Structure 1
Amino acid sequence: MEWYWMLTISFLFLLVLMGVGLPVFVAFLIANITGVLLTLGEKGFGMFSNSMYETLTSESFVTIPLFVLMGEILFRSGAVDVLSTALDKWIGKVNGRMYYLVIGLSTFFGALSGAAAAVAAMLGRSILPKMQKLGYDTNLTNFTILGGASLAPIIPPSLLVIVIGSLVRDTSIAGLLVAGIIPGFLISLILFLYIYFRVSRDPNLSPDNNAGVENYSTKEKLGEVLKASPFFIVVFSVMGLILLGVATPSEAAATGVVGAVITASIYKSFHLKMLWESLQSSVKISLMIVIIVASSKLFGQLLSFMGATSGLIDFVSTLELSDWMMFFILMLIPFVLCMFIDQFAFILLAIPLYAPIVSAYNFEPIWFWTIFLINLTVGSLTPPFGYTLFALKGSANSVLISDIYKSAWPVVALFLASIVLFYFFPQVITYLPSVL
């Protein structure tokens, strides 16, 4: 059988399994077991066990359960509520203040969660009803939640970055983590400017919501910063140590957990029950991830064994496409497919095929995979099937899905504009990794 038929059948089989509603890790397991039996027979299961062992013993994998545990402890520590209060007081009496608050909170929540759908659902449950009650514009409110939530996979520490770094060889995970800092905050600034432009042109988008807002003194604002300062112990123990070159991502993940425990203790919310609940949740999530990552590695090995990977590389090399055309094609695929399937699932499907092409075209790895990650985020909020949209809809029944669609397009446009910016100015992404 020709390589392209093998490749097509493999991917269609996986997509069908996911399409019938099976969890990603179950779909990968079934596809891999079927592939092993058809191509290698029973002896091929040794390859599966080796893939599982390699994943479990990989130093980079240790970062995943540790980052998950860190986020779980912080969410239960009360740090989120303290941050929200501090940001609220610092914003003060500004037209459209709740819009800015949402973007600011999303930036911090993204650093804790790393999942756009999770942040969208959380903001949809907590902030959106309050903004509706105050009379904020529905479409611009949805815009701020979708835009802010989409920062989560980009701003470190991000689980998707760890997974990409674990699957792509010869690419520094520390470099990938740090690479998201400037793009993440730059996109956040672009969202701020868009909101400022919209509110300035149409004051009706922002109700008279400053009636009950106090003018806080500088001393009071600094007091709120002091209250929120324990959170920055976590930030320093993770990204600070990586930037200083003191710790690897695995070591920084461990110090991040210690920082989260210290933060929870300072807020007097650390107790054995909270720790036990955090550990339980972390184990469930991490076990699912290890099965998926191991299955993805085996899937890539099976594609190589069947000759699909080498066939694809040979085919691409005969196309003689320019660098920018190949870059465009590689970005167009996730933009379209992530409307239909989960970001995590697409990463595991795409990396075994993308990695050799990226190497063949000599794309700078950290630059390419960072833009790839941003593009995945865009795909997941593009109508009509972006799952971040449904996460917001699921948490806010009072909002029409048609209104969410309308709100999503400006976010998509701004993120695509940022991708174009990062393509022509790669230093925005590569500067921080280069000084590590």
Structure 2
Amino acid sequence: MEWSLVLALFLGWLIVVMFTGIPVAFSFMVVSCVAIYIMLGEAGLMQWILGMQAKLSNFTFTPIPFFVIMGEVFFRSGIITRTMDALTNIVRRVPGRLSVITLLGGGIFASLSGSSLANTAMFGSLMMPEMMRRGYSKEMTTGSIIASGALAMIIPPSNQIVMMAGIASISVSGILIGAILPGIVMLVVYIIYIIVSCIRNPSLAPTIDEDLEVDIPLSEIIVTIFKDIVPLLLIIKIVIGVILTGIGTATEAAAFGALGSYILAIIYRRFNFKLLVQTIIGSLKTTTMLMLIIGASSGFSQVLSLTGASREAVKFITGTITSPTLIIFAMLAITFVLGLFIEQAAIMMVCLPLFMPLVHAFEIDTIWFAVLFLILLQIGQFTPPVGMSLFVMKGVSPPEVTMNHIIRGAIPFLLLDILVVILIILIPPLATALPSLM
């Protein structure tokens, strides 16, 4: 059977199964299993099972439960709330301060959750009531909350980054470090946009008397920073520093982070047996889900490999297209379009097994491409008409906030993300400079 027919039938069948409502991971597993059995029989099926087992046994994925535990501890112990309160005092006089706080808090929580939807839901519930009470425009409110969620996939350490590295078979440490500068650039660009917009049009985020009536002494602000912000940032810095300096692997760095989160909970007197049980159970649930997705993706990759579809597709494309620039734009365009309709995990599972052979064939820097791919994935999360973050935002919004308000609020940040993508394409060291120091 021709490789193109195999690929078309497989992807078509996969789409049909996914539309039945079966979870993504199980859809991939069922379709891959049946396809392998039909084409290669019992021997192929056994090879497929052993291949998945080998993939899931890979040391690459061991940071995942530790990163999840970090996020669980910081969230369930209330440490994130302390940090948000501290940020509120620091940026009291900044135009659009609640939007800025949302982004700063989102940047910190992003490094712990790795989930754009979780970030959007959390800050929608936490910040929206207060922003609406203070007269912030619906577009500014929803846009800044969605943007805080957009940071979750990019700012390390992130479970999505680890999962992508496993699916694409590239360095976890490399992507984690490579995403630092792009994540910071995104955060800074977002904040600049909000401040400039609020200066030009103060009605977007009115400043009310209670923002200014209490003059907090500088000494108190400094104490707050060192008490409620520095400890959390120190743990994140240790995790990234261990990887960047080569002191330890991503797994060892993640373990340091998990231990540090428990120590911080003890220092703040928030640790108890209930917290320990909740964080372990939460970590088990999330890790199991991610490992199922990775295993299913491995099965899909093996179908493409064992049937020769991926090999022949690479031969065909490299023989037809000779420009690396053209192939990069084609892959990014496909990722963007799929992001309009399909969730992130499914896009990773479908695209990476097809894209990575092309990346290697055209000698494209894998870290640079991975960072661009991640940003395009998160752009899809809040791109109309079906970006999942838009619906999560609508779910936590009061009735007077319509989907039209949410879309209008998201569009400026969508354009800013495209600007960041262009910057990384024009200035590759934004993604490759730090990994080159490892």
Which band: TM-score by shorter chain?
Answer: over 0.9
Q: Which amino acid aligns with 1:241?
A: V
Structure 1: distance between partners of 2:414 and 2:194: 15
Deviation readout 1:63-94 (Å, 9 max, x if unpaired): 11221122111211221011101111110222
Q: Say which SS state the counterpart of residue 269 (structure 1) adopts.
A: coil
Paired positions, count = 435
Question: Which residue in 2 is equivalent to 1:84?
Answer: 84
Q: Greater shift after overlay, 331-340 or 209-218? A: 209-218
Question: Which residue in 1 is equivalent to 2:426?
Answer: 424
Verify: 1:124 aligned to 2:116, yes or no.
no
Residue 95 of structure 1: how far off its partner (Å): 2.4
Structure 2: distance between partners of 1:19 and 1:97: 43
Verify: 1:35 aligned to 2:35, yes or no.
yes
Question: Which residue in 2 is equivalent to 1:195?
Answer: 194
Verify: 1:99 aligned to 2:99, yes or no.
yes
Would the alpha carbon gap of residues 340 and 206 (structure 1) be closer, same or farther in structure 2, given more than 3 Å must change? Answer: same
Contact persistence 1:60–1:166 (CA under 8 A): yes
Contact persistence 2:94–2:195 (CA under 8 A): no
Structure 2: distance between partners of 1:192 and 1:92: 15
TM-score (norm 1): 0.96
Verify: 1:411 aligned to 2:410, yes or no.
no
Residue 130 of structure 1: how far off its partner (Å): 1.2
Q: Which amino acid aligns with 2:307?
A: M
Residue 51 of structure 1: how far off its partner (Å): 2.7
Question: Which residue in 2 is equivalent to 1:329?
Answer: 330
Structure 1: distance between partners of 2:259 and 2:193: 38
Residue 210 of structure 1: how far off its partner (Å): 4.3
Q: Which amino acid aligns with 2:415?
A: A
Structure 1: distance between partners of 2:267 and 2:15: 47
Q: Which amino acid aligns with 1:230?
A: P
Structure 2: distance between partners of 1:90 and 1:20: 50
Question: Which residue in 2 is equivalent to 1:156?
Answer: 156
Would the alpha carbon gap of residues 212 and 411 (structure 1) be closer, same or farther in structure 2, given more than 3 Å must change? Answer: closer
Q: Say which SS state the counterpart of residue 235 (structure 1) adopts.
A: helix
Question: Which residue in 2 is equivalent to 1:168?
Answer: 168
Question: Which residue in 1 is equivalent to 2:237?
Answer: 236
Question: Which residue in 2 is equivalent to 1:275?
Answer: 276
Question: Which residue in 1 is equivalent to 2:435?
Answer: 433
Residue 212 of structure 1: how far off its partner (Å): 4.1
Q: Which amino acid aligns with 2:202?
A: P
Q: Greater shift after overlay, 53-62 or 363-372? A: 53-62
Q: Greater shift after overlay, 100-109 or 40-49? A: 40-49
Q: Which amino acid aligns with 2:247?
A: V
Q: Which amino acid aligns with 1:404?
A: I
Residue 248 of structure 1: how far off its partner (Å): 0.7
Would the alpha carbon gap of residues 210 and 11 (structure 1) be closer, same or farther in structure 2, given more than 3 Å must change? Answer: farther
Question: Which residue in 1 is equivalent to 2:45?
Answer: 45
Question: Which residue in 2 is equivalent to 1:207?
Answer: 206
Question: Which residue in 2 is equivalent to 1:394?
Answer: 395
Q: Which amino acid aligns with 1:393?
A: K
Structure 1: distance between partners of 2:201 and 2:211: 22
Q: Greater shift after overlay, 385-394 or 49-58? A: 49-58
Structure 2: distance between partners of 1:218 and 1:287: 46
Question: Which residue in 1 is equivalent to 2:285?
Answer: 284
Q: Which amino acid aligns with 1:69?
A: I
Structure 2: distance between partners of 1:237 and 1:272: 26
Structure 2: distance between partners of 1:172 and 1:292: 19
Structure 1: distance between partners of 2:422 and 2:237: 31
Structure 1: distance between partners of 2:389 and 2:396: 11
Residue 175 of structure 1: how far off its partner (Å): 1.3
Residue 264 of structure 1: how far off its partner (Å): 1.0
Contact persistence 2:71–2:109 (CA under 8 A): no
CA RMSD of aligned residues (A): 1.4
1:359-398 equivalent positions in 2, closer than 5 A? 359-398=360-399
Question: Which residue in 2 is equivalent to 1:134?
Answer: 134
Structure 2: distance between partners of 1:51 and 1:267: 45
Question: Which residue in 2 is equivalent to 1:350?
Answer: 351
Structure 2: distance between partners of 1:290 and 1:205: 43
Q: Structure 1: which 5+ runs fail to align? A: none
Q: Greater shift after overlay, 21-30 or 251-260? A: 21-30
Q: Say which SS state the counterpart of residue 119 (structure 1) adopts.
A: helix
Q: Say which SS state the counterpart of residue 211 (structure 1) adopts.
A: helix
Structure 2: distance between partners of 1:411 and 1:389: 13
Structure 2: distance between partners of 1:318 and 1:111: 41
Verify: 1:184 aligned to 2:186, yes or no.
no
Question: Which residue in 1 is equivalent to 2:58?
Answer: 58
Contact persistence 2:110–2:152 (CA under 8 A): yes
Contact persistence 1:52–1:291 (CA under 8 A): no
Question: Which residue in 2 is equivalent to 1:302?
Answer: 303
Identity rate, percent: 33
Q: Greater shift after overlay, 80-89 or 43-52? A: 43-52
Contact persistence 1:234–1:263 (CA under 8 A): no
Q: Which amino acid aligns with 1:80?
A: I
Question: Which residue in 1 is equivalent to 2:313?
Answer: 312
Structure 2: distance between partners of 1:210 and 1:372: 44
Contact persistence 2:121–2:396 (CA under 8 A): yes
Contact persistence 2:91–2:97 (CA under 8 A): yes
Question: Which residue in 2 is equivalent to 1:19?
Answer: 19
Deviation readout 1:313-360 (Å, 9 max, x if unpaired): 111112234222111110001101111111111111111111100011
Contact persistence 1:157–1:177 (CA under 8 A): yes
Q: Which amino acid aligns with 1:124?
A: G
Structure 1: distance between partners of 2:61 and 2:46: 21
Q: Say which SS state the counterpart of residue 16 (structure 1) adopts.
A: helix
Structure 1: distance between partners of 2:55 and 2:188: 37
